[in-house]
Amino acid sequence: MRDALEEDAGAGGTYISLRNSIRTNNGIIHPIIVIAQGERYKVIEGNTRLAIYHSFNSNTNIKGNWSEIPCVVYDEIEDKEIDAIRLQSHLVGPREWDAYSKGKYLYFLSQQSYMTAGELVEFCGGNSHQVNRYIQAYSDMEKYYRPEVTDDEFDPTRFSAFVEFQKTNVRNAIHKADHTFHGFARWVKDGLLTPSQTVRNLPAILDDQNAHSIFLVRGAVEAYATLTNAPVLTNLNNYSIEDLCNAVLQRFDGLKLKDFEYYCNNPESEAVLLFQNLKDQLDVYLERIERFAR
C-alpha cells in the first residue's frame, strides 16, 4: 500500500509531499533508472528522487543512509528505449489512486491502525484538514450513499461531492431546508449535483425558494444560474490566455485591504466561491502539465 501512497505524492505534483514520504518511509520504493557511462551514471528517470537523496545526505539533522539510492542500471540502451521508459513513467506510469480509494485507505488507517491525523499527514503528505475531510467523506459516502444504490450503481467518482459535503455551511443549509443527509445522497445519485463542485452552491440554492424548486427538478447548475447576475463578457477570444491571466493577477495585486478583509470574514461569499472554482480548474490544468513535463 505504501507504494501507491508514494506514487500519489509524486503524481500529485508536490515536491514537499514526495520529500516527506521518502523521509517517512526511510527511502524510495520504486528504484530510479540510470545508464552506465564509464565510471559515472546518467539518470534516465528519477532526477527528483535523486535530488531529494542529495539534500538529505547533506543535512546532518536527517537520520538515515542517504548516500546510496536503489536503481536499475542499464549498461547499454538505445535512445528509442529511453524515450519509451520516460513515456511509460510520465504518461502511463503507475496508476494513481482515485480519490475514493485514497479516502478508503485513510479511513482504514485511522480506524483499524489507529493512526492519528498527524501521523497520516506525515505518512502520505497533505494537511490534517484535508486528511480528515477525506476520512469523513468516505464514512459519509458509505453511510448515506451506498444504501441508496445497488452495487452496480455505486459510483466512486462521486466521492468529491461528499468531500464538499463536509463543509459546515452545506450541512447546515440542508438541515435548515428540512432535507436529510440521505436526501443529499439521493441528489448525488440522481445527478442533481453534477459536477460535484456544485455542492458548495447548495446554501445559496436552498435559501432561495425559486432556485430550490428548480434544483429539485433540474439540478444545481440550472438552479444556481437563476441566482447569478454576472455580466456577460464578450470578445474574450480576442485576448490570449496570457493576457487574461495577467489582467487577473494585476486585479488581485491592486486589491484593497478592506476587500481582502471582507473575503477573509466571508469565506462562503459568491466571490470566494468563484475564486475556489478558478483554483480548481487551474489545479486540473497544472497537474496535467506537470505530469507531462515530468
User: Among 6-20, 64-78, 191-205, 239-253, which is the least confidently predicted range?
Assistant: 6-20
Can you give the pLDDT at residue 210?
94
Alpha helices per DSSP H over the chain: 2-11, 15-24, 47-57, 79-90, 99-111, 117-124, 128-140, 159-164, 168-176, 181-190, 202-206, 209-218, 220-225, 241-253, 257-265, 270-293
Query: Residue 60 is placed in which grid cell?
Result: 546532518
Banded model confidence at residue 97, pLDDT cuts 50, 70, 90: low
pLDDT in tens, 109-160: 888 777 787 777 776 666 788 889 999 999 999 999 999 999 889 999 999 9
Banded model confidence at residue 4, pLDDT cuts 50, 70, 90: very low
Which residues are bridge partners to 71 per DSSP? 32
Banded model confidence at residue 96, pLDDT cuts 50, 70, 90: low
3-state secondary structure of 279: helix
Can you give the pLDDT at residue 90?
57
8 Å CB contact between 164 and 196: yes
In the predicted model, what is the mean pLDDT of residues 56-76?
91
Which residue did the predictor score with more confidence, 230 or 65? 65
Banded model confidence at residue 292, pLDDT cuts 50, 70, 90: low
pLDDT in tens, 181-198: 999 999 999 999 998 889
Q: What is the mean pLDDT of the chain?
A: 82
What's phi and psi for 33, nearest 5 deg? -120, 125
Indicate if the pLDDT at residue 66 is higher than 80.
yes
Banded model confidence at residue 13, pLDDT cuts 50, 70, 90: very low
